[in-house]
């Protein structure tokens, strides 16, 4: 499981800014900030999914669906994004050749991260190959030993590991997350003040 936190180190500073904007209704500042953090978490989930798709060669990973959000509370102004999933079959990433119909190469190659080059899939002189299992799934497989059987399918990263990759994903989107948080904070302030104004005009 991978977790990303929409956590802020300057909570007091942000609460003061919101309190100043709300004036006599400053007691509602934590509630306003909570809403801003939750909105940021939802937008961050999409950011995480988009960035991961940019970084990895995996097809149809379902990054967005793999993540669940645990919202912040007034008492704990931190939202949490959790990702779940098992290691993905290597055949779901960039593999050459991609099918059994292609001309058999000297060695099968694969890459998981787009910026990397294709790497030969060979260990202890045993080469990987493309095959189809009885289930109908095409897989990159490798013999366990020198004998023809048994063979094993090769796997790579899980969705949580891809999303939680600090170097490839998280570090790149973190500045954008805080930018979104600033924007959502102002949006929530405006919404709250608008509701108060509407309530006052209606005599509520």
Q: With a cut of 70, say whether residue 2 has pLDDT above it.
A: no
What is the C-alpha separation between 25 and 1, in angstroms, rounded?
A: 40
Number of H helices, E strands in the chain: 5, 12
Domain ranges of the chain: 2-87+159-201, 88-156
44-74 residue pLDDT tens: 999 999 999 999 999 888 999 999 999 999 9
Question: pLDDT value at position 145?
Answer: 86
Res. 42 pLDDT band, cuts 50 70 90: very high
The C-alpha angle with vertex 103 and arms to 98 and 109, in degrees rounded to 5, equals 45
> What's the predicted TM-score (pTM) here?
0.83
Contact 141, 151 (CB under 8 A): yes
């Amino acid at each position: 499981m991978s977790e990303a936190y929409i956590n802020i180190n300057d909570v007091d500073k942000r609460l003061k800014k919101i309190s100043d904007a709300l004036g006599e209704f400053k007691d509602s500042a934590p509630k306003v900030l909570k809403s801003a953090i939750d909105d940021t978490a939802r937008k961050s989930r999409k950011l995480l999914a988009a960035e991961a798709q940019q970084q990895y060669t995996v097809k149809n990973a379902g990054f967005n669906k793999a993540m669940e959000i645990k919202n912040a509370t007034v008492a704990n102004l931190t939202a949490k994004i959790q990702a779940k999933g098992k290691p993905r079959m290597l055949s779901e990433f960039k593999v050459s050749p991609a099918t059994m119909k292609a001309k058999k190469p000297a060695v099968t190659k694969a890459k998981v991260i787009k910026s990397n080059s294709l790497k030969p899939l060979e260990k202890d002189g045993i080469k990987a190959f493309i095959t189809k299992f009885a289930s109908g799934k095409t897989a990159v497989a490798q013999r366990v030993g020198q004998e023809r059987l048994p063979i094993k399918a090769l796997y790579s990263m899980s969705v949580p590991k891809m999303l939680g990759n600090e170097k490839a994903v998280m570090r790149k989107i973190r500045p954008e997350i805080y930018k979104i948080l600033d924007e959502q904070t102002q949006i929530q302030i405006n919404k709250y003040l608008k509701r108060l104004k509407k309530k006052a005009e209606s005599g509520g």
